Amino acid sequence: MKWVLVFPGWLKRLAFRFVSAITFWPFILVKHSHLKADERLICHEMIHLRQQVELLVLPFYLWYLTEYLVRLIQYRNRHQAYVNISFEREAYAHESNPDYLSQRKFWAFLRFLSSPGK
């Protein structure tokens, strides 16, 4: 997949020590080249790409950060805050289904706003 790139070395050291991949429209950046073949991880990140398109990219990042901060206050734990972001809930719930995006409804992440997280 030509839109899946490996993190540049400086980016690995800068901010993404704890993630295997991250999506910056229109790219998926993976920490190591072997992760390009991880179908589950790529599916998870493809769900984020769809979410970004639906929110016209920049609002996605603003919403993501805002929701993370709200969840951080709510859970007082960075990992719990992260896994309870609605975008992450949707991606984790459907990352094992390669057909999910073909049947996904518009703004499906909204269903995960109030559902209990992991």
In a domain, residue 118? The reply is no
pLDDT on residue 1? 62
Does the residue 50 lie in any domain? yes
pLDDT digits (tens, 9 = 90+) for 43-80: 999 999 999 999 999 999 999 999 999 999 999 999 99
Q: Is residue 55 part of a domain?
A: yes
24 located within any domain: yes
DSSP assignment string, 3-36 = TEEEPPHHHHHHT-TT-SEEEETTEEEESSGGGG
Q: Does some domain include residue 69?
A: yes
Total number of domains in the chain: 1
Of the listed ranges 10-19, 33-42, 83-92, 105-114, the one predicted with least confidence: 10-19
pTM recorded for the entire structure = 0.90
Domain span at 9? 4-112
